[in-house]
Amino acid sequence: MKIILLAFAIGTAACAQKFAKAAETQEIIKPGDVKFLEFEVKSKNPTLDCNGEKVKVFVGENKGQAIVRESYFSPMKPFICELKENGQVTHKFKFKVLDKEYKSEVLRVDMKRVRLNKKDQARANKEQVMLNKIWASSVDEFQFSEPFMAPLKSHITSVYGTRRLYNKNKKGQHLGTDFRAAIGEKIPAANRGKVVFSGDLFYTGGTVILDHGLDVFTVYGHLSKPIAKEGSIVERGDIIGLSGNSGRTSGPHLHWGVKIQNQYIDGFSLIDETQRVFANKK
């Protein structure tokens, strides 16, 4: 009888452990913003599922990290990210999406950059195919261990999310940050990363793209001269190019884009979140 009771007790404890209630955390996010999550993990291959979308997880010593982003084109609905280990949900991050207002502006640019001819459209389409391959080929771990920084400290001429009207004709959104920069100004990397593109593109002209790991990229556009070499690793603050006036632009400046999980987000949100996470780890 004692053996039967012992077996029953062990079985009950095992079931209780298997079906333990997942921990829950309440989070707030806005369209175009990111949230840097940290959590304890006991397995090497945890997964994070955000309403059916898989988010890559970086695993360190008994701790996992992941970046969750909300699209600029957010449906403004709450969502849940579930952390799973060995098929069991161990943590639920419940996100509430708050509204965010964006500015508007009118720009005048060369009409051939607004309404493309067949040759330019073919080039832009070909480049987009190449870029899509880059966005889908991020390395499987974070390449950085410090906060991101703004590439320049100059005046911001156009903030992320600004609604644009080109030549009173074509509408769009500016999903990056424009910094005032004279032609030839040195541009540093916002953080450590791998150079996955260094060359010329139709829209952003001289361009350098860095892969910071787990689907986090930064883009530096309108350069007069890309310097960083494709395939190389650059450190935070390394000079990767010189500012310019190339591509579709109305004047000399640096366009800085941040792309996470195939969506352009506000780079300053990434800066704020990584400062919060990494500032106390030095």
Tell me whether residue 169 is exposed, middle or buried, using C-beta atoms within 10 angstroms of its C-beta: 0 to 12, 13 to 18, 19 or more.
exposed
What pLDDT, on the 0 to 100 scale, is given for residue 69? 97
- The reply to whether 63 and 160 lie within a common domain is no
Q: What is the pLDDT of residues 98-122, one digit of tens each?
A: 999 888 777 666 655 567 889 999 9
For position 16, what pLDDT does the model report?
42
What pLDDT was estimated at residue 2?
44
Worst-scoring range by mean pLDDT, 9-13, 64-68, 200-204? 9-13
Residue 199 pLDDT > 80 = yes
What are the pLDDT digits (tens) for 35-83?
Answer: 999 999 988 899 999 989 999 999 987 799 999 999 999 999 999 999 9
* 7 or 249, greater pLDDT: 249
Q: Are residues 130 and 208 in the same domain?
A: yes
When comparing pLDDT for 155 and 282, which is higher?
155
Asked if the structure places residue 206 within a domain, the reply is: yes
In 3-state terms the chain splits into helix, strand, coil percentages (rounded to 5) of 20, 40, 40
Domain that holds residue 262: 104-281
Look at residue 21 in the predicted model and tell me its pLDDT: 78
Kindly state the tokens that stand for 218: 């930064």
Domain boundary, last residue among 97, 117, 142? 97
CATH number of the domain where residue 266 is located: 2.70.70.10
Tell me: pLDDT of 167 over 60.
Answer: no
pLDDT above 70 covers a percentage of the chain that reads 86
pLDDT band at 174 (very low <50, low <70, confident <90, very high): confident
**Using CA atoms, how far apart are residues 241 and 186, in angstroms rounded to an integer?**
6
32 and 88: one domain? yes
Sign of CA dihedral 149, 152, 154, 159: negative
Q: What is the pLDDT of residue 58?
A: 94
**Whole-number Å distance between alpha carbons of 272 and 277:** 9
pLDDT recorded at residue 248? 84
217 in the same domain as 232: yes
Q: Are residues 231 and 274 in the same domain?
A: yes
pLDDT confidence band for 8 (50 / 70 / 90): very low
Q: Is residue 14 part of a domain?
A: no
Boundary-marking domain end, from 97, 112, 145: 97
DSSP annotation string for 163-223: EEEETTTEEEEE-SEEEE--TT-EEE-SSSEEEEEEEEETTTEEEEEEEEETTEEEEEEEE
Domain count, the chain: 2
